[in-house]
Structure formats: structure tokens, C-alpha cells
Amino acid sequence: MDREVQFIGQSGAFLDAVERASRAAPMRRPVLVIGERGTGKELIAERLHRLSTRWQEPLVTMNCAALPETLIEAELFGHEAGAFTGATRARSGRFEEADKGTLFLDELGTLSMGAQERLLRAVEYGEVTRIGASKPIRVDVRIVAATNENLPKLAEQGRFRADLLDRLSFEVITLPPLRVREGDVAVLADYFGRRMAAELHWDAWPGFAPPVQKAMDEYLWPGNVRELRNVVERAVYRWDDWTTPVGHVQFDPFESPWKPAQSPRADAPAAEGTSAPHSPAVPVADLDGIDDLRAAVDSHERAIIEHHLARNRFNQRQTAKALGLTYDQLRHCMKKHGLMEKP
């Protein structure tokens, strides 16, 4: 398996999901892969194919959300010449292309009810009929489908066929989000960081500074592994000195002191008055363990100043503006917290 499809992680929840995929791979039955965006559903689908007896046959992928509803059935099942406007010649569908192999249907929950009905017949009888044709075609296809939707709930609401869900759910592999994969953030960040450093031709990999690693460990990662990869690679390529640990990370690439202000209409539902300057969200520590309020406030204040200094590339005037302080006030705070020696 090449480096783009490696499974990186050590948490029990993650390893359990990978093990379940490995056990299901040799089976001819359909498999549903459930997970949030960026959790690696495509990688699990590829693992299911590569470890199956069909590994030498095609692995055909179709994103059900990428096509308009009017074209999905033609893409899946093919069409004959003249079947509809623009169909100048016959075309095989994804089922025929995947014959003897695996068909990966991503974003399954977006399929129209009509496409679901035809898909049900294909799964049940192993036959597909091109649009405009009168005779079905036999196909031998193993279905792997993925979604981030709650399919049982959609079935209860009548938005997904319950009988199709029954056919596709021989095995259901639910991938854990990154925020519950204990210890995996550090492992993945180091992996992506080393790879980016090699791409930049660094002589060595310095790792991440402790505050950066702590920030990554405490972040909730709504975009999961895909988001982590972007954050790490962006932090590494922006870092100029490969001899020192990477000391700054930016989770939101759109965050900037110069980003356009929201329009008045977008701000209308907000509370009256102007909002205070945005400060980074700092996870609340164990409040029972705080005995010295002044020390806790000072520590929080220092963390905010350090964050904004790094975000503004240590430009003190821009940092003061971002924090709603005067230049002298910022200088006083920096001196108070021993930050004057910072670059």
C-alpha cells in the first residue's frame, strides 16, 4: 500500500475499525462505512478491496453527491444511444465497469429514491439495465458504500429505502472521529510533519514546540484527519527555521487581522453593541485545581498575548490593534509577562 493510503494511528477505537475492515474484506457481502468527513472512509473502502479476492479487478468509485439527480442513474447503470437528449452513443455504467471488482459509492445518503430502487434490484439480483434498454445485464460487483448520514433515521423518515439499507448493511464499520482517538493526534502530526519537511528538503525534522503540540492535542478537529493534515503541512511550510521546533500553528486559514468585516445584515441578529476583539478559544482547565486566581488570570493573559504575537508574526503594532490595545499597553503587558525578549 503506497504512502497516500497508509493507516496511521494507535488508539483502540481506530485499530478496532481497521481490524473489522480487515475481517470483512474477504467476504463477498456489501459493507457500509460510516463516519464524519475526513475520518478516512475512502481508505477503508480501498482496504476492503485490496484485501479481498477481487484485488486484481477494478475498484470503481462514484461520488453520489457530485452529480445532478438526472445523471446519477445514467452514471450508475449506463444508457443506450438515443435514450435521452445528448445520449449520442451507448455508454456502460459504473456497475459494468466494476464487474468482477468493487464499486465504492461515496455519499450514499444523497441518492434519489429512483436510483435507490434501481440499486436495490442490482444488489438483490446482480442485474443492471441500461437506460433505454430492454434486457438486463448480469454483473458480479461487491458494493462498498460510505456516508456521514444517519441512514436508519433517514429510513424512518421515508428518505431512504429500508429494504435497500437491509441489503447493504451486512457489515457496518463506523470510524471514530479524531477527537476521541487518544494519542493519535501526536502520531499523525509527526507523520505529516516529517513528510512535509522532506518535501521542503529540510535536513532534519525538528518536531513541534510543546505549546503547539498542546494546542493540537486540545483542538476538537471538526474536519478530522484531513483537517489535521492541512494544519500540520501549513505550519511546517510557513516555518522558516528547520533547526528549531515548529513554534506556531494556525487552525483557521481564513483567520487574519485584515479579513473583511461581516456585512450589517449578517451582524443584525447579534447582540447590540460592538463585540470585543476575538481571542483564541482556550480550553478551560480543571477548575477545581485552581487555587490562585491571579496566577490563573496571568497565565491566561500571557497565552492570549503569545498567540496573537505569533499570529501577527510578532508585529507589535498589528498585535496591539488585533487585541484592542494601544501600543504602549501591549508593551506593558509583554514586559509584565517577560515577553520582551521574544523576536
Residue range 139-179, pLDDT digits in tens: 999 999 999 999 999 999 999 999 999 999 999 999 999 99
Q: What is the pLDDT of residue 263?
A: 64
Confidence grade of residue 281 (pLDDT, cut at 50, 70, 90): very low
Task: Tell me what percent of the residues of the chain surpass a pLDDT of 90.
Answer: 59
Q: Which of these, 245, 242, 255, lies nearest to 213 by C-alpha position?
A: 245
Residue 61 has pLDDT above 90, yes or no: yes
Query: What is the DSSP annotation of 162-224?
Result: HHHHHHH-SEEEEPPPGGGSTTHHHHHHHHHHHHHHHHTT-SS---B-HHHHHHHHHS--TTH
Q: Residues 183-203: what's their mean pLDDT?
A: 96
| 244-262 pLDDT tens trace | 999 999 999 998 878 787 7
Q: Which of these, 20, 325, 341, 5, lies nearest to 170 by C-alpha position?
A: 20
Q: Tell me the C-alpha distance between 17 and 306, whole Å.
A: 39
Q: Tell me the C-alpha distance between 74 and 90, whole Å.
A: 11
Q: What is the pLDDT of residue 303?
A: 84
| Distances, alpha carbon 72 to alpha carbons 62, 84, 111, 118, 269, in Å | 9, 14, 8, 11, 39
Confidence grade of residue 287 (pLDDT, cut at 50, 70, 90): low
Amino acid identity of residue 343, one-letter, is P
Q: Tell me the C-alpha distance between 268 and 105, whole Å.
A: 42
Q: Tell me the C-alpha distance between 79 and 18, whole Å.
A: 37
Q: Which of these, 43, 2, 4, 10, lies nearest to 192 by C-alpha position?
A: 4
Confidence grade of residue 69 (pLDDT, cut at 50, 70, 90): confident
Q: Tell me the C-alpha distance between 20 and 10, whole Å.
A: 15
Collapsed DSSP state (helix, strand, coil) of residue 70: helix
The full set of domains in the chain, from first to last, is 3-176 (3.40.50.300), 182-238 (1.10.8.60), 279-336 (1.10.10)
Helix 327-336 vs helix 316-323: crossing angle, to nearest 10 = 100
Backbone φ and ψ of 131, nearest 5°: -65, 125
Q: What is the pLDDT of residue 341?
A: 60
Residue 41 has pLDDT above 70, yes or no: yes
Q: Which of these, 145, 91, 150, 156, lies nearest to 123 by C-alpha position?
A: 145
For the chain, the average pLDDT equals 86
Residue 271 has pLDDT above 70, yes or no: no
Q: Write out the three cell numbers for 156.
A: 424512518
What is the rounded end-to-end Cα distance, in angstroms, of the chain?
A: 44
Q: Tell me the C-alpha distance between 161 and 182, whole Å.
A: 36
Q: What is the pLDDT of residue 288?
A: 54
Amino acid identity of residue 319, one-letter, is T
Q: What is the pLDDT of residue 343?
A: 46
> Where is 102: in which H helix or E strand?
strand 102-106
Contacts for 204 with CB less than 8 Å, ≥ 6 apart: 197, 242, 243
| 202-212 pLDDT tens trace | 999 999 999 99
Q: What is the pLDDT of residue 284?
A: 47
Burial class of residue 127, CB neighbours in 10 A (0-12, 13-18, 19+): middle
| Distances, alpha carbon 208 to alpha carbons 141, 233, 343, in Å | 46, 12, 18
Confidence grade of residue 297 (pLDDT, cut at 50, 70, 90): confident
